[in-house]
Structure formats: C-alpha cells, structure tokens
Structure 1
C-alpha cells in the first residue's frame, strides 16, 4: 500500500526543500517538520484504549495508546533527521539504526552497520529514509528487520521515485509506504527527478 500525504503544509514545506537556494539549516528544519507531519499519517492506525484518569475537575476514562510498543529505525545517515524529529512525538519509542550505502557503480545497497532494539519483534516498526530512489536500500533494510523478527513495518520517506516504490512493493508487498510525493523518475545516476538533490548532503552540508 502506498500513501501520499497531500496536506498543503507538507507540500509547501517539500517545495521549499526542493529549492536549490534553501540552505543547510533551513533544509534540516524542513526535513524534520515534514517527517513529523508524515508521522501523523503513518501512525493514524495506532490503537487506543480507555484509561481512567483524574483531571483537575473529575475522574473519567480517556483514550491513550495501547497495543504494541513502537520502534523508529533510521537508515543511516539521512534517516537520522527523521527519527530524531519523530521521537519528539513518541518519546517512549526505541530507536534502531541500519547502515547502508549505495555502490555508485552497481547502485546496489552495501550493509555496514545494524543495531536494533532487542525486542524488535514485539514492536511496530517505522523505518525512515528521506529518499526512496531505486528502493534497493529500503528493501534490504526491511529484509534485515524481518530477519530480526519484526512483523509490523511501515516505510516513511519524504520523496520517492516510481522505481523505488515498485521495488519495495515487489519485494515486500506487506509493507505500507508513506511519502510526501512520488516524482517522475530516476536519472542515469539513480537520483530522483526533479527531486531535491542528495538529502544527506543537504541535511549535513557535506556537498
């Protein structure tokens, strides 16, 4: 399943991120803001249960989160800005990291780091990667999560290419994808067009 969040605030902030004149500080802040807005949609189906509480005026039953606990897993390095933002909404969530980079020649993902919560199998997992380009890294990360026992996984990306969406759907049809937009295509170098450039470089000012 693919969900594109078309809310005007998301689309406005995404357009600012696309602008080549947007600086590192503003780009990083925008990425965090869009991530939190995407999380509202991605977490729409979290279960609630009535909980008895005492307000300043009277006692009553009010909805609070129930069910499985949450895990936020970042695909390094660019996914960090997303998990760091979303954890402000769900501070009890545990955070994991999967290190992958894309070989510039083969465009295939190469793993170099994996650190997940020990109880990942008991948690609803939200995997973050700002750019869903070829889909290779996301598919590999999802496979790694499943190998560790994760059963409920959603992928959150700010921007996607049709090729990346298709690749994840092919390899992991059970994983829902939540994005702000799906662009036209990938270019010969594996970049999303029209896109916003390299998200990691623009977040950290490394290019």
Structure 2
C-alpha cells in the first residue's frame, strides 16, 4: 500500500467514520480518490489533514469530514444529475462516485485544468469541469436533481435555486448566523423551498452568496 493510500484509509477511519458518515459509498470514494491531485502542490502534504485548506486568500476547501457529511446530507441517488460548486474538483470527484452525471463548477481555468487532469487519471467518466461564477451556477446543464455548494452562504440567489428541478435539493453551509450550520433546501412545487438545518459547521462565504447590507449613514 502506498503512503497516500494509507493516508486515505487513515483519514476515513479516524475522521470520516467517527463523524457519523454512514453512507458506505462516500467512505469508499474517499478511500480511493486522491485528494492531493486536486490541490496545489504546496498543499499536497496536508491533503488528508482534518482542517480547512486555503487555496489562495479568500478561497478555501472544507475539511474532509465536513465535506463528507455535507454530501451525505444531499442523499444523492445513482440516477441524479448534480452540480457541485467548489474551489477545487475533489468534491465533484467524490460525488461522481454516487451520481449519474456531475458538473463541477470551478472558479478559474487553472483550477479546472487541474481537476480535468485528475479526472482523466481516474476511472471517472461522468464528471466535467466548467468555469464560471459560483452564484450564477451552470444553467447550460440544468435542471439538476442536487446542487452541492462546498462553502459558506448567507443567502442563495434565486437564479441558482431555479436550476433545481421540482423535488431537487441544495446543500451548503449557512453562515448567516454566529453559529454556522449545514442546510438542505428542498424545492417544492411553485418554487417554494423547505429548509432543514443539520450539523454545525463553519465555512468561508463564497463570492455572490453574501447578503447585501445597507451602507452605514452618519
């Protein structure tokens, strides 16, 4: 067993399973997907640490255990079409082991190229990397059954919610309060959403997902 493979196994056994991740598809995916392949070289040694990693200032990826719980919250079926909004392609690679079709929306071409190289080096053939604004989503492949936002949100734009089909779900980390929570927004008929809060978590709000606050006036 290679050192990276052993680190992945240890990550699953010491971080993922003890965090109430019971979906064996997720633990199996995290055992085989090389997280370091989706990160800048300077972060490779920290790929399996239980911490948020900063890609560049203002851009982060969730700790593996938080990401695993967030994906589990989405309850992805093997027939689902999923949009994964992230600062790296790792989350999409995990989701691609669960879903039928995955679109990875990434912030720039360099990140997308890194993800494509990692996708091509694996057996994954159901995930594509695209580049665009996180808050705008990727309407070209909509509607989606699931949208996974790997990051913080204070509010979710209506234009992104519109990319979910009726009955679809969006999961993210709500950072609008002092105590952040993972949330699930379940789309009902007529564009109405039911909200469910889950575990506590913190994350850096993604661009376009912050609330507009009135300017201070003297």
Alignment TM-score, normalising by the size of structure 1 = 0.42
- The structure richer in strand per residue is 1
